[in-house]
Amino acid sequence: MGDAFIRHIELLGYEKRFFPSQHYVYMFLVKWNDLSEKLVYRRFTEIYEFHKALKEMFPIESGDINVENRIIPHLPAPKWFDGQRSTQNRQGTLTEYCYTLVNLPHKISRCLHVVNFFKVRPDDMNPVTDSQIKKPEVFLLPKDAKKNLTDITGPIVLQTYRAIADYEKSSTSEMALKAGDMVDVVEKSESGWWFCQLKNKRGWVPAAYLEPMDGPDESEEQEPNYEGEQYVVQKSYTAVEEDELTLKEGDTIEVIHKLLDGWWVIRKGETTGYYPSMYLQKAGKVNTSLKNELRNRSAPPRRSTIRNVKSIHKQSRKQISQETYRRNSKKYIQSRSKMKENFQNKANVIIEKTEQEENKPKAQPAVPPRPSKDLILNRCSESTRRKILGLAKPAGPRSVRQLREAEEAAPVFQYAGKAAKRKDRVFVWGFCYSGALGVPSFVKPDVGWKKPRRIQATPYRLETEEKISSAACGYGFTLLSSHTTDITKVWGMGLNKDSQLGFQRSIRDRTKGYEYVLEPSPIPLPLEKPQQTRVLQVSCGRAHSLILTDSEGVFTMGNNSYGQCGRKVIEDETYSESHLIHQLKEFDSRVVQVVCGQDHSLFRTKKGAVYACGWGADGQTGLGHYNITSVPTKLHGDIAGVNIIQVSSYGDCCLAVSDEGDVFGWGNSEYLQLASVTETTQVNVPRHLPFKIGKIKEAACGGTGNIVLTEEGNVFVWGYGILGKGPNLIETAVPEMIPPSLFGWSDFSPDIRVAHVRCGLSHFAALTNRGELFVWGKNLRGCLGTGRMEDQYFPWRVTVPGEVVDVACGVDHMLALIYTFYMCLGQLELSQSVMLE
């Protein structure tokens, strides 16, 4: 418990250094478990070497054995010449890398390799001064802030590639290779010939014979550009393969895809095919000596013509078919021609209309016919009808009270369809690849030309037949339940590697189960009375699930490595494709709420008692120790004898609210969650939190921050991270109130109040009494649903077509239960009399 570990890493920016040579370093603010903060400087080459060593230490988690098991984030290799632009553009990648690294399982995030790399070095304590380098040390500015700023490159960083087949050189400037040789690439040329180094030998090598070490999906090839770039053929070439083109010197073509092997996809008219890039010159550019030298060499071989290929990767990089090139190129050409025709037609129509209007004589305005008396009597207001019939009393000036009464008595007409009614809907958004959103076409498009959708940044309607009454979001999976007496009551979607969604039988092999569920699939429960029992609530952890029923207790399923499912831990138990669903009934009274933490579970009974089981290394079970507990056990401490009406957890910290409006906490306090009652980083018994903010109605826990809601509708936050009061408030041990005006309250709308609060791992959500949803926090993979990828420092309203009834927050996705507005043909409100002559 006393070992040092990192609780947060923040990228502050980067600097330019001149000693011992010109280079760039990144500045990191490292926050440790003892609440100390240290500033360290690291070059990107150091970070990449650290990343490679970490992958070697954890081959399973890095995806080297099975790419589907990869949880260690990807980090691109350094470029050959790291200048200001690449250093600046890499900041976003490093920020997400550090955030994911710290939130990995403890065996990785707290291992000695990670701790030692971010420890303070002598160079961090005493950075190079101006006198030592004899040049001013400066902070790099964005490109917009300083114009005419030339990039100052650092030392060359060579990237390692592997030869996939034997290659015999054909000239003295080339270098022979054997399959499996590891070469350092010194220069990559667009011609497809790369200058490489192998021990003491150097020479040109065809790029088609080399593969990256990190895998085929991490290639640097650009995406196709069907708009095309104009190039001129500098040397004639006769096609050898069917998908190549024959061109003559001087022909003008369009390049639509630049490939690294030196064979580009070009377009001549409506015909597409491959052509050696070394025989092409961009239109308007002058030939260089290097280009002339390369043109004298023959065209490099293509990857498809190499025999006896021995790749270390199971799957090669997916190549675009020539038919796809032709189809997309033809579509672009047709759309471009249509745009020109439409533009020309519109211009001609405008000119013609202008001439007609100038020559047309101006006509007198038409007078509409007077409506008949019967029509007026049928459609006018009561006061107008009395005037027409002569029944109106001679009226003098009316008082304000009479005007108000007349306005209230005015009829209101509403025109709606016969089937006009409000409906329940489910909307999802966030990260798509795990299948947690339940939309199969996001992961496997139903149309060939569509690409898989990685992120859904705005709410998307999930098609469901049943009315969903409860939902929960876990670590890459989702549970839905309906308050129905039908046989099927619970559905799951997303990751299922630990059977957290039950056994999802494969269609092809009935003995196998799916590890990824792409759409809402039924989860059969072992109920004694399936047509009488109802499901009240569902909850999701990192890899386990809880299901609460009204009369048959609690059902648990998924990973039980720490006893979080409330049953005995079995060593080396296989959780994948498991049929086991465990039932819990041993409580002092009926369970009315279940809550999943990261690897622990909480149960609240009707009598107001709280039970816990699972992982307790941070005290999150609240049982007075830091051990594993596999049987739900009653909590004591400050909540002994207190009537608890709500409990909450998501990471390793827990909160409980009593019927008297007090809040209690236990578990992890590395991020100041419980700093109001202790200076330690773990609390293993429930403690009363002495907040003087009024009577608390509801509480929610995230990974590093907490939130509570008072009876007055005020929202308070504390902990660490983006808390909702702007970028200046990053951490606080005392609850800070978010201004009610950020949730829509104003002098014109004084009745607006926050009704519920929720937490994901690193973001928050609040629901108002008008059914509006506000979100803020870390926008990991678009989980906030704002339509943008930037983090949100203040509450932001999410646009959905209806009133939000409830919302579930996960790690990188969210789900909302919506009550739609009236579906009608139109609505007309008449509040004033129709005055007719």
Tokens describing residue 436? 């947690």
Separation CA 777–CA 762 (nearest Å): 6
Question: Any alpha helices (H) in 394-503, and if so which ranges?
Answer: 400-409, 440-443
What is the pLDDT, as a whole number, of residue 228? 78
What is the pLDDT, as a whole number, of residue 833? 29
Length of the chain equals 837
What is the pLDDT, as a whole number, of residue 353? 54
Which of 232, 230, 208 has its CA nearest to residue 299?
Answer: 208
What is the pLDDT, as a whole number, of residue 134? 32
- What is the spatial order of strands in the sheet that 715-720 belongs to? 696-701, 705-710, 715-720, 731-738
All residue ranges of the chain with pLDDT < 50 are 1, 130-157, 216-219, 290-291, 294-295, 363, 392-393, 823-837
pTM: 0.54
Cis omega (within 30 of 0) for bond into 740 = no
Q: Is beta strand 600-605 parallel, antiparallel or unpaired with respect to 554-558?
A: unpaired
The region that residue 672 occupies, defined by phi over 0 for left and psi between -120 and 50 for alpha, beta otherwise, is left
- The CB-side HSE value for 169 (13 A sphere, CA atoms) comes to 14
What is the pLDDT, as a whole number, of residue 390? 59
The region that residue 345 occupies, defined by phi over 0 for left and psi between -120 and 50 for alpha, beta otherwise, is alpha
What is the pLDDT, as a whole number, of residue 377? 65
First to last CA, the chain: 89
H or E segment at 545? strand 544-549
In 659-787, where do the E strands start and end? 663-668, 682-688, 696-701, 705-710, 715-720, 731-738, 754-759, 763-768, 773-777
What is the pLDDT, as a whole number, of residue 493? 97
